[in-house]
Structures are given as structure tokens and as C-alpha cells.
Amino acid sequence: MTAIAENIFKEAVQLNPIDRAELIQRLFYSFDKTSNRQIEDNWKAEVEDRVSAYESGKIPADTMENVFERLCKK
């Protein structure tokens, strides 16, 4: 790692967890903006579709406890 990158790293690890996570995401997405934009657009559409389906009564909601219980069983 270059000295510049090392200095940036030393500063970055002092950030709060949310800022570090956002920095990681932005750095990751900086590699290929074309495919990442498409992925983000697809996820946005998926979320909007799910919210609309929930609001219209087409899909039910579940409690966080039930969701985590199912995930822990896998």
C-alpha cells in the first residue's frame, strides 16, 4: 500500500461505523459504475414493488423476531 493510501486508511478507521460503511460502499462502487447503477436501479424497483404489494394487502408482514428465527434455522 502506498503512503497516501496508508494515511487514508489510518484516518478512515477512526470514523464511526456508519461513515466507514458508507465509505466502503462508495469505494466498492467506484470500480464499475455502469453495472452498479443497474443493480441499484433493480433493487430500488424491487423494494418499491414489495412496498406496493404490502400496502395493497397482496403480501403480509412478519415480525422481526419471526424473520430472525427463520434465518437462524438455516
Query: pLDDT-based confidence at 31, cuts 50/70/90?
Result: confident
Domain count, the chain: 1
Range of the structural domain that residue 16 is part of: 3-73
Per the CB < 8 A criterion, the answer to whether 12 and 20 are in contact is yes
Question: Does residue 18 contact residue 11 with C-beta atoms inside 8 Å?
Answer: no
> What are the pLDDT digits (tens) for 42-70?
999 999 999 999 999 999 999 999 999 99
Q: What is the pLDDT of residue 35?
A: 67
Mean pLDDT, rounded, for 16-27 = 93
pLDDT for res 73? 86
